[in-house]
Structures are given as C-alpha cells and as structure tokens.
Amino acid sequence: MSGEYGHKKDRDRKWFTGQFLWSGIDYIGEPTPYDVFPVKASFFGAVDTAGFPKDMYYLFRSQWTGEPMVHLLPMTWNHAEGDTVEVWAYSNVDTVELFLDGKSLGTRTFDTKKTVDGRAYLETTEATGDDKTFTDGPYPGSYTSPNGSAGKLHLTWKVPYRPGELKAVARRDGKAVATDVLRTAGPARSVRLTADRKSLTADGRSLLFVTAEVVDAHGVVVPDAEDLLSFDVRGGSLAGLDNGRQESAERYQASTRTAFHGKALAIVRSGTKAGTLKVTARAEGLRAGSLSVRTRPARSAALTPAEAFEPDRPTPPGYPHAHASYSGRPDTLPAAMLDGDPATGWSNGFTKAATALLPAFGGARQEDWVSVDFGRARNLDRVEVSFTVDATHTLPASVVAEVWDGRRYVPVTGAAVEWATDTDAPTVVTFGAVRGSGLRLTLTSAHPGEARGAMRISRLEAPAT
C-alpha cells in the first residue's frame, strides 16, 4: 500500500483512529528485497537509520501539519542532459508554481474537496490507477473516495533537464507562503557540519547530533558523494556514526564513516569538563568541516570513561568488482557477470506479484547500467558482453560505454558494436584505446515496459591491452 493510498483511506473515514506505519524509521534486520550481505536494514521507513528524512516524510508533513510547506522530488537536481525529469511537489497549500532558473514551468493546483462528513482537504482530480478492486463508478481501477472523487496528493511537472536551480513557490491567496529549492551540485569541495543544538550539559551523557555533508563550492550537497569522513571530538567523545545506508557493513562505533548521498551523522557525547565541545570531520581532498558548542557545568557526571573509537575503513572489494544500477532479484546480482559461470547472470528482470489492490507487473525497465571496477588503471579498447536471449530477456537496443578516469566516467570515442546472434555469445564493443580503472555500460531496453524487454549478462570481460 502506498503512502498516498493509506492517507486517503484514513482521511475519508472519520471513524478511523489513525494509521500504524510499518515502519516510521528504518531498522536493522529483515533486509528486503536484497537479503544478501552487506545489506543489513529494511528500507521502507519514512526516515532512515541515521534519522535523515526521506521523501515519504514530507508526504506526511503535507497531510498532517498546518505550517505552510512545499517539498520537491526527486531529492536532487543532478541528472543526465537530455533527461525529462518527472518532478513532484508535496504541499499543504493549494497552488504551486515551479521555476527553472527563474523561468516559470507552470502552476499546478490541488482542488479543495470535502469528505462526506464535511471536512476540507486538498487533492488533484484524476484517475490514479491505484486500486483494481474498484470496477465501476467514475474512476474504475482507482481508489474512489466515498464522495465519488479520485486524485493524487502530489502535483506533477515533466521538466526537460538542464543544470541550474529548480524552485517551487507555494502560494495561498496569491501570496508566497513556502518555497523549496534544488540546485545542481558541482564537484565536492568541503565538509559542512551542522549540529542540532547550540549547547549541552557537560555530564558525560548528553548527546549532540551532528550532520556532516559533502558540499560543492556553493554549499550544495553533492548527491553521489561517498567520501570517507574521519571524525575527531575535543571536549567530548563519539557515541556513534551512521549514514543511513542499508547496504553497509561499516561499524557504528568507529571514528570513520563513508558519506551516503553526500551525508553522514555523528552522535557526539559531552565530556565532563564544562567549556567547549569541538567536532571536526576530514576527508581526503576536501576542506575539513568543524563546529563548536558550549558545554555547561553539570550537577553530576558519568563516571565511566568514554571508549575511544578506531578508524574503520571499509574493506576494499575484491577486484574486479561489479556493480549495477538495479538488479531484479537477489540471485541476479552484478557479481554473476564475473564469476566465470555461464549459467549465472546479472539481470534487471523482475516480477511484482499481484496484490489485493494492484495487478501483477513485470514490464521491463527502460535503462540500466552495469559497471566493473578493476581497482587500478589499465589500457582498455574493448569489452565483451554475453547477453542472454530468452522469454524475458532481449538484446539491448543500445550499449554506451564509459571509462572511469579517476574522477568521473568519460564516454569512449569511436565505439563500434558487433552484436552476437546467439544467446550468451559475446557481443563485442570496441573503442579508441583509453586508460582507466573502471568501465560502465549503459544499456537501453529494446522493449521497455514489455515482459520480454529485460536484459541479462552472463559474462562480461574487458581485456587489458
């Protein structure tokens, strides 16, 4: 059941006591659907294990709070040139205008509707396709409220991507009452620390929550930054670190943590001497971040000395190491491309079984990438990829190769593709010789949305030259 669907059922029935959310916060255990190490947490909370809010959190705010707010999705404005981005806004205000670099992309509005018992609410008026059990009425296939209407709890724009500043302005009676802004991030420059309070008691027990962010020259969080952050505390001690990532075996009780989506959390314990508590976070190649808070004298203080934490640099993966933008099942993970076994493979094929409300779905994804990290630079001029062709997998419509130059993926030049004609036979991509430590292939489905359009790779080899 989606967050929007649950809200609508709750809202429409005055006799509902409320909702039970499983779960409000991600928790360790029951990793779903990738129950393979190092995935160790669930992912469906409104807030991640580090306490960072996800988009769902803002849906709740838009439905349950009165202070004017608007929140844009997706979370970042770093996309590929040529993409058309579906932008959503959650808001508790009826009118929202979207701007890209100051130019209006149009205004969207919620209708004001009334529940059958007379309470007003905001919703668009459109078929949502969220409930197959509604077979008649004005919106068959969509949950229909007892008042006869259907609609969404978010506003939508389709925006041709261009780097810049995307800004939502929410207006009530013509007056701007809330805004949200996404800015395209440039290269990472520094670490920024923000604390949740200005002072705490020097009792050896009080906690300060410090958010570390990897930011560009303009202070915009770099969305894909995974820098290893080293924390140092004076006048207190580290109580724990997290970054909210489900796929992570890093220790919570360590002095280092990689950033996830550019962020990490340090939970810092006060010392027992009043004065100043200083937190510093360093990352290789970035300007360090630091902050200080005052600590006040305590009536009583903890007697047990704080444990000193050691750095815990994540173990480098065995090379070559494969990765992918998406895997359809726990037994079709990227490592299957490199295992030398022709029977195993990475695949983006998936099936979502029918639920009480939604029909089964197995339509192929439009595009995915797979990558191989060799661990050190080598000369590359070809890659051999064995695609599987069967009932649910077809050859991709296109393969685009890029090579990691140490800072970013650079498209290869002079690429030519010699397509295999048999299943699991090598398709050979050749290109102008280039030096790099990793290779990424972006694959476009020949049959997106169809049952036969998934892609599978049983073997991938990029010989060094």
Q: C-beta of 387: minimal distance to Ca ion in Å?
A: 12
What single-letter amino acid sits at 364? A
Tokens, residue 81:
């040139």
Token readout for 436 is 């790099």
Q: To the nearest whole angstrom, how small is the minimum distance from the Cβ of residue 400 to Ca ion? A: 22
State the minimum distance, in angstroms, from the CB of residue 336 to Ca ion. Answer: 5
Q: Using CB under 5 A, which of the segments 105-113, 256-264, 364-372, 453-461 binds Ca ion?
A: 453-461
Window of 6-14, 80-88, 183-191, 334-342 that interacts with Ca ion by CB under 5 A: 334-342
Closer by beta carbon to Ca ion, 281 or else 322:
322
- Cβ 344 to Ca ion, closest distance in Å? 4
Could you give the CA distance from residue 242 to residue 264 in angstroms, rounded to a whole number? 6
Closest CB 104 distance from Ca ion, rounded Å: 51
Q: In what order do the strands lie in the sheet with 70-73?
A: 70-73, 84-91, 155-160
Among 336, 380, 385, 455, binds Ca ion (CB under 5 A): 336
Subset of 133-152 contacting Ca ion (CB under 5 A)? none
Q: Which contacts (CB < 8 Å, 24+ apart) does range 417-424 have?
A: 419/395, 420/386, 420/387, 420/395, 422/389, 423/387, 423/388, 423/389, 423/390, 424/342, 424/386, 424/387, 424/388, 424/458, 424/459
Left, alpha or beta for 305 (phi > 0: left; psi -120 to 50: alpha)? beta
Question: Rounded to whole angstroms, how far apart are CA atoms 420 and 30?
Answer: 40
Q: CB nearer to Ca ion: give 412 or 439.
A: 439
> What tokens were used for 90?
């959650």
Using the rule CB under 5 A, give the single segment among 51-59, 114-122, 181-189, 341-349 that binds Ca ion: 341-349
The nearest distance, CB 421 to Ca ion, in angstroms, is 20
Judged by beta carbon, residue 256 or residue 458, the one nearer Ca ion is 458
**Please, which residue, 80 or 343, has the CB nearer to Ca ion?**
343
Nearest CA to 148 out of 137, 159, 164, 140 is that of: 137
Q: CA dist 323 to 278, 326, 429, 450, Å?
A: 38, 9, 19, 24
State in angstroms the smallest separation of the CB of 446 from Ca ion. 22
Whether residue 23 has a cis bond before it, omega within 30° of 0 = yes
- The DSSP letter of residue 318 is P
| Amino acid found at 58 | Y
Minimum gap (Å) between residue 311 Cβ and Ca ion? 35
Distance CA 307, CA 296 (A): 22
Is residue 344 a contact point for Ca ion (CB under 5 A)? Answer: yes
Residue of 18, 330, 378 lying closest to 9 (CA atoms): 18
Nearer to Ca ion, 225 or 338 (CB): 338
Compute how many residues bind Ca ion; rule: CB under 5 A: 5
- Note whether 458 binds Ca ion by CB under 5 A: yes
Q: Which of 224, 341, 390, 418 touches Ca ion (CB under 5 A)?
A: 341
**Shortest separation between residue 170's beta carbon and Ca ion, angstroms:** 51
Tell me the window of 16-24, 226-234, 416-424, 455-463 that interacts with Ca ion (CB under 5 A).
455-463
Structure tokens at 452: 């036969």
Task: Select the residue whose beta carbon is closest to Ca ion and give its number.
Answer: 344
From the list 102-110, 118-126, 234-242, 339-347, the region that binds Ca ion by CB under 5 A is: 339-347
Stretch that binds Ca ion, among 34-42, 85-93, 238-246, 329-337 (CB under 5 A): 329-337
**Beta carbon of residue 345, minimum distance to Ca ion (angstroms, whole number):** 5
| Contacts of residue 55, Cβ cutoff 8 Å, sequence gap at least 6 | 71, 73, 74, 75, 90
Which of 295, 281, 304 shows the shortest CA–CA distance to 233?
281
Segment near Ca ion (CB under 5 A), from 156-164, 245-253, 270-278, 331-339? 331-339
Stretch 67-106: interaction string toward Ca ion, x if CB under 5 A: ----------------------------------------
For Ca ion, the binding residues (CB under 5 A) are 336, 339, 341, 344, 458
